[in-house]
Amino acid sequence: MRVGLAVVAGLVVAAVSTLAWAQRPGSPRAVFEAKTLPKTDVEKSILGVIERVGREQRAGNMIVPEEDGRLLRAWTEAVGAKNVVEIGTSVGYSGLWFCLALKGTGGKLTTFDIDERRSAMAKANFEAAGVADIVTMVLGDAHETVKQLKDPIDVLFLDADKAGYLDYLQKLLPLVRPGGIVIAHNMTPNMADPRFVEAITTNPELETVFLHMDASGVSVSVKKH
Ligand SMILES: C[S@@+](CC[C@H](N)C(=O)[O-])C[C@H]1O[C@@H](n2cnc3c(N)ncnc32)[C@H](O)[C@@H]1O
């Protein structure tokens, strides 16, 4: 009985102190919404372009939210990626987040899009950020152009035609190395292709988690060792 009371008292104290901390003026929101902090001048310069592209080119170009860009960067750093493949370049916003990680890991990005106008904008953005040397852009229908890929993939990011995700997965999963990851965007129930969801949740080769489901929805599937 005494132990039970002590546990309850402990929980009450913890709850009260958390509440007090959460209500301190200016602290909690700022902590949880803290921005990416540049570690080097290279990061600072890439982040500057990311901020500008996010502000000026978001409309009409279907780029990922900032929180998803940060997630892409974090996973890429975490797996020490040397080879990132992205389907759906748009104006290069998510690609810039990948490059933020790849500058640190010494890796490269190969990114595919079918749209000439957006690809030209992406090229200019990669140049402005000083990352053009680690980016290969491929213009055309990615269902065809990905067939040229041969090297092991550390991170595969799907963010193009949603009905095409399953085809991209079937073509490229064999190239994803053990411990590599497949990330797919727009994975909320109303946006995702059910055939793709089934493919990444019923394959015992993969461990899939879903993140940011209250926003755009992102799946992360780790290819097991
Ligand atoms: C959602 S946007 C990509 C956004 C980008 N990942 C970002 O966050 O900055 C989708 C892109 O996929 C491209 N796309 C659609 N179908 C395609 C296909 N079959 N092959 C290549 N690109 C395609 C579109 O042109 C568009 O630029």
Over residues 84-106, the pLDDT tens digits come to 999 999 999 999 999 999 999 99
Which of 70-96 are b and which e, b meaning 16 or more Cβ less than 10 Å from the residue's Cβ? Answer: bbbbebbeebebbbbbbbbbbbbbbbb
Note whether 113 and 13 are same-domain residues: no
Residue of minimum CA distance from atom 10 in ligand 1: 160
Strand partners, 181: 155, 222
Whether the CB of 160 sits within 6 Å of ligand 1: yes
> What's the CA-to-centroid distance between 89 and ligand 1, angstroms?
6
Q: Count CB atoms within 10 A of the CB of residue 39.
A: 10
Note whether 201 and 156 are same-domain residues: yes
> What's the CA-to-centroid distance between 193 and ligand 1, angstroms?
16
Note whether 125 and 19 are same-domain residues: no
> What's the CA-to-centroid distance between 92 and ligand 1, angstroms?
10
Name the pLDDT band for 32 (thresholds 50, 70, 90): confident
Residue appearing with tokens 């950020």: 129
CA gap 136, 217 in Å, rounded: 27
pLDDT at 88: 98
Note whether 124 and 155 are same-domain residues: yes
Q: What is the mean pLDDT of the segment spanning 31-37? A: 87
Note whether 97 and 187 are same-domain residues: yes
Note whether 127 and 17 are same-domain residues: no
Note whether 8 and 66 are same-domain residues: no
Q: How far is CA 47 from the centre of its chain?
A: 15
Note whether 146 and 190 are same-domain residues: yes
Q: Which two tokens stand for residue 29?
A: 């929101």
The best mutation among 161, 168, 183 to test binding of ligand 1, ranked by most ligand atoms within 8 Å of the C-beta, falls on 161
Note whether 69 and 102 are same-domain residues: yes
Note whether 15 and 99 are same-domain residues: no
Whether the CB of 64 sits within 6 Å of ligand 1: yes
> What's the CA-to-centroid distance between 91 and ligand 1, angstroms?
9
Over residues 61-89, the pLDDT tens digits come to 999 999 999 999 999 999 999 999 999 99
Over residues 188-222, the pLDDT tens digits come to 999 999 999 999 999 999 999 999 999 999 999 99
Q: Look up the domain containing 115 and give its range.
A: 41-223
Residue appearing with tokens 């104290």: 13
Note whether 103 and 179 are same-domain residues: yes
Torsion of CA 119, 89, 129, 67, to 10 degrees: 140
Q: What is the mean pLDDT of the segment spanning 145-169? A: 98
Look up the CATH number of the domain holding residue 98.
3.40.50.150
Note whether 126 and 178 are same-domain residues: yes
Number of domains observed in the structure of the chain: 2
Q: Choose among 104, 106, 85: nearest CA to 94.
A: 85
Whether the CB of 66 sits within 6 Å of ligand 1: no
Q: Choose among 106, 100, 124, 125: nearest CA to 43.
A: 100
